[in-house]
Amino acid sequence: MLVRSVKSLLVAVFSLSLLVSPLLLSAQPEGDKPGEGVHQAEAHGAKEEKKLDPAKTIIEHVSDGHEFHFAEINGHGISIPLPIILYSPEKGFTSFMSSEFHHGAEAHEGYVWVTDHWREHNKELGELKGADGKYVYANEKIYALGADGKPDVNAKVYDFSITRNAAQVILSVILLILIMTNIARKYKKGYGHTSAPKGFQNAVEPVITFVRDDVAKANLGHSYEKYMPLLLTIFFFILINNLIGLVPGSANVTGNIAFTAILGIIAFIVILFSSNKHFWGHIFNPPVPLGVKPILIPVEIMGIFTKPFALIIRLFANMISGHVIILAFICLIFIFGAMNTVLAYGTSPFFIAMAVFIYVIEILVAFLQAYIFCNLTAVFIGQAFEGGHDHDDVPGHGDPVVV
């Protein structure tokens, strides 16, 4: 019923937009032909308005950076600078705050941070292109300045800076440790054992119980206890980063392939160390006819690597896609505004409503993706130590069969 209602609402909104947009486009004052105002402004020496590049804007918001950028008012950015830590064989270690770059507009201590601001202030340098048609200087990268005052692309600069993603991971780790140690302290005092859980402990305990009963026990059988610290850490670490990433101005850490790759590699290592001879026997000697073995063995070997790869890509794709969709709806307001002001005011409520709707869905996805990653990790570990028919650790083995 809900799906039908949403579909009907979307059909109605788009139908109304198709009917109203021609009227809005024709609502310009007479004499203001398309492009006429721009030519008049150029004739009077007015400053040309900067055009919006939706793809570039979205990529900047979902990618890493050297500052937490919140807004820009009258050309002045509102942001929180982060530490810049650089090393070059010529200068050694250098450290300072990213605010010294003034959003990339100025050089500092012989280094320059190539950004859009830097390209605007150094147009003769920022427009340089190589033989392949691409800019010589990569965007969002720090270069050492040469003797001619230009960024030296050949100079070795090792960047150990605390970027936006790194700072947020450190923050999430601190929050996770503080929350969990506080809850553990309450359990030590007897809350949750001799009396009812207290405060935030009351909200976290059902989640821990859920992971234990529906994830660990269901997939790992009698061996669930030794994997509980790993599964709980994975679940809450992903969850807290997912939720922080929904705060405007923060970094989308779980939408970074490097972050999800590390989690996938950790899961991969645990899976391999949890395996036994039955697991490897199934890989290199699958129970199939002899003629099928040469085909199935490479598939089984590939399956060892596709499992963590699936964990990595699933989390990354789901968490970055929601942010991209929200930013796309916001950018549509400005795109329509460039076409016609009235059209922008007419469609902006719909785009804002859709952005808020996706944002609410993203809160649900934050919990869902933490559960999926945790659950699939438990499933793959369970498959790794699954043995023969007499193996006691196999979930369900030894239980009475109900006919």
What does the DSSP assignment read for 295-348? HHHHHHHHHHHHHHHHHHHHHHHHHHHHHHHHHHHHHHHHHHHHH-HHHHHHHH
pLDDT tens-digit map of 319-354? 998 888 988 888 888 888 888 888 878 888 898 999
How many Å apart are CA 242 and CA 73, to the nearest integer? 28
- Residue that the structure tokens 């290199």 belong to: 284
Number of Cβ atoms within 10 Å of the Cβ of 116: 17
Average pLDDT, the chain: 78
Q: 123: buried, middle or exposed (CB in 10 Å: 19+, 13-18, 0-12)?
A: exposed
* Farthest CA pair distance, the chain: 88
Section 366-376 average pLDDT: 94
pLDDT tens-digit map of 65-99? 888 877 777 666 678 888 999 998 888 898 988 88
How many Å apart are CA 136 and CA 149, to the nearest integer? 15
pLDDT value, residue 311: 93
HEC string of 133-170 equals CCECCCCCEEEEECCCCCEECCCCCEECCCCHHHHHHH
Number of Cβ atoms within 10 Å of the Cβ of 112: 24
How many Å apart are CA 230 and CA 380, to the nearest integer? 13
pLDDT value, residue 370: 94
Q: Nearest CA to 265 among 204, 315, 200?
A: 315
Q: Are 200 and 183 in contact (CB under 8 A)?
A: yes
pLDDT at 11 > cutoff 60: no
Q: Give the chain's count of helices (H) and strands (E).
A: 13, 8
Question: Which of the two residues, 269 and 386, has the higher pLDDT score?
Answer: 269
* Highest averaged pLDDT of the listed ranges 32-46, 69-83, 353-367: 353-367
Question: Which of the two residues, 181 and 153, has the higher pLDDT score?
Answer: 181
pLDDT at 268 > cutoff 90: yes
Phi then psi dihedrals of residue 16, to 5 deg: -65, -40
Binned at pLDDT 50, 70 and 90, residue 387 comes out as low
Tokens matching residue 165? 């993603």
